[in-house]
Amino acid sequence: MTWWKNVCLRLALVSAVATGLSMSQLALAREYVIGAADVIAISILDNRDLDTVVSVTPGGKIAVPIIGEIQAAGLTVTELTEHLTQGFAEKVKSPQVTVTLREVNSYRVYFLGRVGSPGMRTSKSEVSLLQGLSLAGGIQEGADLSLAYVARETERLPVDFVKLLREGDLSQNIALEPDDTVVIPDNPLNVIYLAGEVKQPGMLPFVKERGWTALKAVLAGGGFTQFAAKSKAYIIREGGGRRTTIPVDFNDLLRNLESDKDVPLVPGDILVVPQSLF
């Protein structure tokens, strides 16, 4: 089994866990910090008229009966309970306040780059990096794990994705915080380029196990267009500070598929199929 299959298997194993954490498990991990759009239930013992369910505004505030607007975002449930108890104490004798999180909507994590479903993902409980990657559809071929990182506000966290996903080092499986951004970039040296008279020109992720050749690349690009000069194709390859051009005669190659004329590709190669003049 290749390392890539191991990565996919590891992500699949955590997918069920990623959506199964309860609010009590979240509390055990660390007390949740309230954020915008979260829904909070407030009740006061023997004062049901004051019970309310409120959403945290984009500005981080909630409107509370007989108290008015107070700041909720940035506080834990315990801290908010203390603030509300002090506020209600001015109007109610010895208030016993209970605060409950009804909905957690502020736990947003963003995924960019080579994941199955880039974009924002939300969770109703804390998720680890592996669980987050699973929710984002897993890592796709062509990703450069050595360049991947987690951005938290203005800093990059020292997470080693290679150790985490190739070696199973769970010390790298950090807990993601709201508004973290997980970036899984492409490396230009981990792709090959297909240009000219093919139906789907563009980049192809370079995966060593796939054994990319010139013909395989053309097939992956949907084949030749009707204007392709198949006998005049070429590969541009750079290395050691030099650029070389390797001719590829697809007409000759297609007449004898068993020959060794199909050129193996290396990362960074540009395969060009020019247009026929006639």
Is the pLDDT score of 21 beyond 50?
A: no
Which two structure tokens, joined as six digits, stand for 236?
């541009």
SS3 content of the chain, % helix, strand, coil (to 5): 30, 30, 40
Residue 44 pLDDT grade (very low, low, confident, very high; cuts 50, 70, 90): very high
Which overall architecture, per CATH, does domain 189-273 show? Roll (3.10)
Global pTM reads 0.53
Under CATH, domain 33-103 is a member of which superfamily? wza like domain (3.30.1950.10)
Scanning the structure block, which residue is given the tokens 């509370």?
A: 64
Looking at domain 3-24+106-186, its CATH class is: alpha beta
Query: What integer pLDDT is reported at residue 16 of this predicted model?
Result: 34
Helix (H, G, I), strand (E, B) or coil at 254: helix
Is the pLDDT score of 220 beyond 60?
A: yes
Residue 75 pLDDT grade (very low, low, confident, very high; cuts 50, 70, 90): very high
- What's the mean pLDDT in 3-31? 42
Cα separation, 243 vs 64, whole angstroms? 70
- What's the mean pLDDT in 130-143? 90
Query: What integer pLDDT is reported at residue 105 of this predicted model?
Result: 82
Query: What integer pLDDT is reported at residue 203 of this predicted model?
Result: 82
Residue 8 pLDDT grade (very low, low, confident, very high; cuts 50, 70, 90): very low
CB of 270 closer than 8 Å to CB of 236: yes
H or E segment to which residue 239 belongs: strand 233-239
Q: What's the mean per-residue pLDDT of the chain?
A: 84
Query: What integer pLDDT is reported at residue 7 of this predicted model?
Result: 46
Query: What integer pLDDT is reported at residue 122 of this predicted model?
Result: 82
Domain boundaries, the chain: 3-24+106-186, 33-103, 189-273
Exposed/middle/buried for residue 140 (C-beta within 10 Å: 0-12, 13-18, 19+): middle
Tell me if domain 33-103 and domain 189-273 are identical in fold.
no
Residue 4 pLDDT grade (very low, low, confident, very high; cuts 50, 70, 90): very low
Query: What integer pLDDT is reported at residue 14 of this predicted model?
Result: 40
Cα separation, 259 vs 272, whole angstroms? 21
Could you read off the pLDDT of 157-184 as tens digits, one per residue?
989 999 999 899 999 999 998 889 999 9
Could you read off the pLDDT of 85-128 as tens digits, one per residue?
999 999 999 999 999 999 888 888 999 988 999 998 888 778 89
Give 127's contacts (C-beta < 8 A, 6+ positions apart): 18, 21, 107, 109, 135, 175, 176
CB of 102 closer than 8 Å to CB of 77: no
Cα separation, 174 vs 83, whole angstroms? 31
Report the sign of the C-alpha dihedral through residues 55, 75, 136, 203, in that order: positive
